[in-house]
Structure 1
Amino acid sequence: MKNKLTKIVIVAGVIAIQPALAQETPNKETTQQKNNMLIGIHTSDEFEKAPYSDWYQKEYAEYTPDKASIEALKGTQLNQSRLTVFLGTWCGDSHREFPRFMKILHALDFPEDQLTIYALDRNKQSPDGDEKKFNILRVPTFIIHQDGNETGRIIEYPQSGWLEKDLLEILNRTP
């Protein structure tokens, strides 16, 4: 009788906590959000909507790109490149660098159909595991591809202090 009662209590406990466990599993839908976190492939338009617009629009508005670097970038092959961005909508570095990156791309009239934006969860994972094939360990990561090959990446923050200067350096060293 004691064993039967113990088993009933254990089963009841497991059933009771299952809904709580299910809520902790991140939503893998690329168009859904959970706990103010985007996951999967997204367009830049989605960052213009609440709750992401709070940090996105503020940083975008406050950032002034380096004019000389923007002019120099206009003379490069950037608009013939593909760009891949991995970010976390929960990440402070992404909150700072991603809006700046987008402002630079807008200043260069970069074609957004050549841009892929992956939002990762707090474990730096996406629903399809794309971060693995790109070896993403930190966010944000900005990757430049030319002719199907990676030509460079900026990880977490620009080494020069300016994304546009780092982009220019990557594009200038590419033969």
Structure 2
Amino acid sequence: MSLETLAPASDLGTDDFDEAVLDALAAADYRFKVWGGDWCVDCQQQLPAFGAALAAAGVPDDRIEAFPVTKGPNGKEGPQVEAYDIDLIPTVVVETPDGEEVARFVEEANVTIAEFIARQLADIEVSA
């Protein structure tokens, strides 16, 4: 099963994103783990723009893992759901190449997923 909603929105390109956001996404060889469901309205609304931001930032496909989630009788079900404590979708976890979690987006915010993640990553750079 794939996560089709993560496919980049065709109407968004590099010029549609803040340069600082793209720089943050492209920095440090971060790994992006994305949980969502093609049936989920929040995912349908948010993930295509996030996919486009990752593409505009030049993040290679081998650093993006998509985990399709289904609705089960006891909540969300799918790969790594329990290991990463996934309750709401979309959820995006950003890890260093060593597997350390450095940022997490869960379901919604007052900015896009890309902006939210970029702010968290910028905080890491400032405190480092």
TM-score in same-fold range (> 0.5): yes
Matched, 1:88 2:40: no
Given that residues 94 and 104 in structure 2 are in contact (C-alpha distance below 8 angstroms), is that contact kept between their aligned partners in structure 1?
yes
Return the structure number with greater relative CO, CA threshold 8 A, min gap 6: 2
Decide which structure has the larger Cα Rg and report it: 1
Distance in 2 separating the partners of 1:75 and 1:104: 10
Displacement, 1:61?
A: 3.5
- TM-score, structure 1 length as denominator? 0.59
Displacement, 1:141?
A: 0.3
Matches for 1:153-172 after TM superposition, within 5 Å: 153-157=104-108, 159-172=109-122
- TM-score, structure 2 length as denominator? 0.78
Query: Identity, % of aligned pairs?
Result: 21
Gap change, CA 1:104 and 1:74, over 3 Å in 2: closer
The number of residue pairs the alignment matches comes to 119
Given that residues 83 and 115 in structure 1 are in contact (C-alpha distance below 8 angstroms), is that contact kept between their aligned partners in structure 2?
yes
Matches for 1:102-141 after TM superposition, within 5 Å: 102-123=51-72, 124-126=76-78, 128=79, 130-141=80-91
Q: Output one character per residue of 1:137-166: Cα deviation in whole Å (capped at 9) or x when no partner.
A: 001101111131111111112x23222221
What do you get for the CA RMSD once the two structures are aligned?
2.5
Distance in 1 separating the partners of 2:27 and 2:45: 22
Structure 2 portions without partners, runs of 5+: none
| Structure 1 stretches of 4+ moved >6 Å | none
Given that residues 142 and 154 in structure 1 are in contact (C-alpha distance below 8 angstroms), is that contact kept between their aligned partners in structure 2?
yes
Structure 1 portions without partners, runs of 5+: 1-37
Gap change, CA 1:91 and 1:108, over 3 Å in 2: same
